[in-house]
Chains A and B, each alone.
Chain A
Amino acid sequence: MAPIKAVEAQNWLIEKIAHRLGVEPSEVSPEQYFDELELDSTEALILAGEMENWLGFELGTTALWYHPSIKELAAHIAEESATRTEAGHAASA
């Protein structure tokens, strides 16, 4: 499976967050910090679970803390996805 690119992760996050907030995706900035969004902790965890299901791997709840904006988290997801894909290829080689 191809690794997920940062822009894909960013678009996924923006679409889901916009849906939760009831706004257009264009109104959600990639630079936005999660703790500035009108998501409470319950919604944030539900979003994290949905995201892990989409990614196919566990991201760790602290990821939202260490990568606190949409853009930073998307970059981290891409990096993590690439590492996992590479490890998968190495294991099957």
Chain B
Amino acid sequence: MPPRRSRVPLPVVRLRPSAAGSGTVYLVHPGALAAGVHATLAEALPDGVGLTVLDLSALPEYWEAALTGGRAETTVEALAGRLLDEFTGAYDGGPYALAGWSFGGVVAQAVVRQQPPAQRPARLVLLDSIAPTEEYQQPDEALLPPLLIGWFAMYLGAKRGRPVLLDPDRLAACGVDDGLLLVLDAAVASGALAADTPLPGLRKLYDTYVDGLLRNNRLTAPYRPRPTEVPLVLVAAERSLIPDDPTLGWTPLAPYGLEVHRSPGDHYTMLTRPDAAELIARLVRPTPVPARTGAKKV
């Protein structure tokens, strides 16, 4: 039976049209949250500047892996090739900027590698993306419950619009089962979940979230990225997924320079907070391709 999805996500989502000559920001989005989460950024952009989301979660070979155990039958390079085709089809030839959030930044960096030099963006803006370098390529076993439960609480809070704050000491010692009880208590207390939410239901949500993370981890593990041919601009969230490294590992991939900014919020709420959107909007300025000056290695 053919599946029915009346709300099939589209790989190209125009959140805001651009006025003639003002340019468009193209933002690579990896799912987890709906593409519409970038509406706050769209509103913060200068008058006339458009925002188009390139949504990885609309590619079946990517999104289905989060529902079937986290193994994707694709590669970072293949996803980048697919998105480059979508970008080429959507691009109007005017000024543009390229950005990527989270794993979307990893794919956006691979997109730049595949673009003809004359069509590359002036720079690539990464929104709390972790570099796919050896330092951060890790086996699944390295993703321990306290780390995953902490990220899941952050995600759930962003998804429901209510923070889900966990006691760091209890989080540090938890396994999955008691960790989910911590999340359930905190989520019910903050109003993020209904009081009668069953633990098996929360477990399903957690398992699906983790499968999405594992999918990205497994796509990243065999990937050997090459240095980026344009300068990188990294916006790391105050409560980033990797709070101890302000560069999130991008230095070896940034021979043309790495500019680092810190945005308010966490990995997820940086997309919905107006103060974070204001910062990001200043950094994603569309640039006319023909007028661009060549980047210099640093």
Contacts and interface: CB of A to CB of B under 8 A. Distances in A.
A52 B201 CA distance: 9
Interface string A44-82: 011111101100000011100110100000000000000
B5 A35 contact: yes
Contacts of B3: 65-66, 68
A44 to B, nearest CB: 9
B89 interface: no
A92 interface: no
A33 B200 contact: no
A45 B5 contact: no
Contacts of A47: 201
Which of A33, A61, A62 has the largest number of chain B CB atoms within 10 A? A61
A13 to B, nearest CB: 14
Interface in B77-122: none
Nearest to A67: B1
Interface majority SS (helix, strand, loop, mixed), chain A: helix
Contacts of A35: 5-7
B197 A46 contact: yes
B68 A62 contact: yes
A50 B67 contact: no
Interface in A24-54: 33, 35-36, 42, 45-50, 52-53
Nearest to B66: A61
Contact of A42 (B67, B159, B203): B159
Contact of B201 (A50, A60, A66, A68): A50
Contacts, number: 58
* B interface, size bucket: 20 to 34
Interface in B171-221: 193, 197-198, 200-205, 207-208
Contact of B208 (A61, A65, A66, A68): A61
Contact of A49 (B67, B156, B193, B198): B198
Nearest to B1: A66
Contacts of B156: 42
A52 B198 CA distance: 12
Contacts of B297: none
A46 B6 contact: no
Contacts of B68: 60-62
B226 interface: no
A45 B204 contact: yes
Contact of A33 (B4, B201, B203): B4
Nearest to A61: B67
Given A45-B205, A49-B204, A65 B5 contact: yes
Given A42-B160, A60-B67, A65-B67, 12 more contacts: A35-B5, A42-B205, A45-B204, A45-B205, A46-B193, A46-B201, A48-B204, A49-B207, A52-B200, A53-B201, A66-B1, A66-B3
16 contacts: A33-B4, A33-B6, A35-B5, A42-B159, A45-B204, A45-B205, A46-B202, A46-B205, A49-B198, A49-B200, A49-B201, A50-B201, A60-B67, A61-B204, A62-B67, A62-B68
9 smallest beta-carbon distances between A and B, as pairs: A49-B204, A46-B201, A53-B200, A49-B201, A61-B67, A50-B201, A45-B205, A68-B4, A49-B200
